[in-house]
């Protein structure tokens, strides 16, 4: 007669473990993601599953998301290609989109990317609005880029073309704001929290992997 309470206690103890090990619910269209009406990846897939983040340096939500997103990206297998795409919504958005691509062109993007968020939202060493080319060049000079070289990159046709391409992509997939994650140019993720956003993105990546033709 005393076995029943012990069994009940054992089942109650195991219940949380069972809940943790249960698979997440499959993403639901309209709730967890929207299908993009005019689909297409940002860049040719070349056998990869593309995850794009449309972000803005001046966006505080993007700044808060950056460390968590970076950790998630670091855990992805080789078939996932992550691409950050700066939002070019006009005005100061474009100034920092140009800075992103100028940093890429001058070879310092990997070292400077997270620190631009820090300079804007923590140190306040860069202005959110009305940043000048000289201010940007001074900031990036700490990464070994000569100010004149950086300003030349900011004004270059290559940077201009990349900003236009980033703007066209964001308009085509109809991002409602930043940060926004897009999988294979097909799914616009609609997470309620950062954790939820990455959960849905992981599930959509798995869906695309399962749908890929076997080699």
Is the model's pLDDT at 71 over the cut of 50? yes
Pair type for strands 80-86 and 49-55:
parallel
Count of alpha carbons within 13 angstroms of residue 130, beta-carbon side: 0
Residue 17 lies in a domain: no
**What angle is formed at CA 33 by the lines to CA 28 and CA 36, rounded to 5 degrees?**
125
Residue 19 lies in a domain: no
- 12-16, 73-77, 136-140: which range is least confident on average? 12-16
Please tell me the distance from the alpha carbon of residue 156 to that of residue 173, in angstroms, as a whole number.
26
Is the model's pLDDT at 21 over the cut of 50? no
Is the model's pLDDT at 149 over the cut of 90? yes
Query: What is the residue range of 118's domain?
Result: 26-211
Q: What is the pLDDT of residue 174?
A: 97
CATH number for 170: 3.40.30.10
Nearest-CA neighbor of 209 among 45, 75, 98, 65? 45
Q: What is the pLDDT of residue 35?
A: 98
DSSP 26: P
Residue 206 lies in a domain: yes
Please tell me the distance from the alpha carbon of residue 87 to that of residue 10, in angstroms, as a whole number.
53
pLDDT tens across 100-125, in order? Answer: 999 999 999 999 999 999 999 999 99
User: Confidence band (pLDDT; 50, 70, 90) for 215?
Assistant: low
pTM of the model: 0.87
Q: What is the pLDDT of residue 213?
A: 78
Residue 145 lies in a domain: yes
Cα Rg for the chain, rounded, in angstroms? 21
**What angle is formed at CA 76 by the lines to CA 79 and CA 60, rounded to 5 degrees?**
125
The total domain count for the chain is 1
User: Confidence band (pLDDT; 50, 70, 90) for 135?
Assistant: very high
Residue 161 lies in a domain: yes
Residue 53 lies in a domain: yes
Residue 84 lies in a domain: yes
User: Confidence band (pLDDT; 50, 70, 90) for 6?
Assistant: very low
Q: What is the pLDDT of residue 124?
A: 97
Is the model's pLDDT at 15 over the cut of 70? no
Mean pLDDT for 68-83 is 98
Residue 77 lies in a domain: yes
What rounded mean pLDDT belongs to the chain? 91
- The larger pLDDT score, comparing residue 167 to residue 22, is at 167
């Amino acid at each position: 007669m005393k076995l029943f309470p012990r069994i009940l206690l054992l089942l109650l103890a195991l219940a949380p473990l069972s809940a943790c090990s249960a698979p997440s619910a499959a993403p639901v269209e309209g709730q967890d993601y929207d299908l993009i009406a005019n689909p297409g990846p940002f860049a040719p897939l070349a056998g990869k599953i593309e995850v794009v983040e449309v972000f803005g340096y001046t966006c505080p939500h993007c700044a808060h998301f950056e460390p968590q997103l970076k950790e998630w990206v670091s855990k992805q297998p080789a078939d996932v290609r992550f691409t950050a795409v700066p939002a070019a919504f006009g005005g100061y958005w474009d100034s920092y989109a140009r800075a992103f691509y100028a940093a890429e062109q001058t070879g310092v993007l990997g070292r400077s990317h997270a620190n631009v968020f820090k300079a804007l939202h923590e140190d306040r060493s860069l202005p959110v609005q009305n940043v000048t080319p000289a201010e940007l060049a001074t900031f990036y000079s700490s990464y070994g880029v000569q100010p004149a070289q950086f300003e030349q990159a900011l004004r270059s046709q290559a940077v201009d073309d990349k900003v236009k391409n980033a703007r066209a992509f964001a308009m085509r997939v109809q991002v409602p704001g930043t940060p926004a994650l897009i999988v294979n140019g097909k799914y616009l993720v609609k997470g309620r929290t950062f954790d939820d956003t990455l959960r849905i993105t992981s599930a959509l990546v798995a869906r695309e992997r399962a749908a890929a033709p076997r080699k």
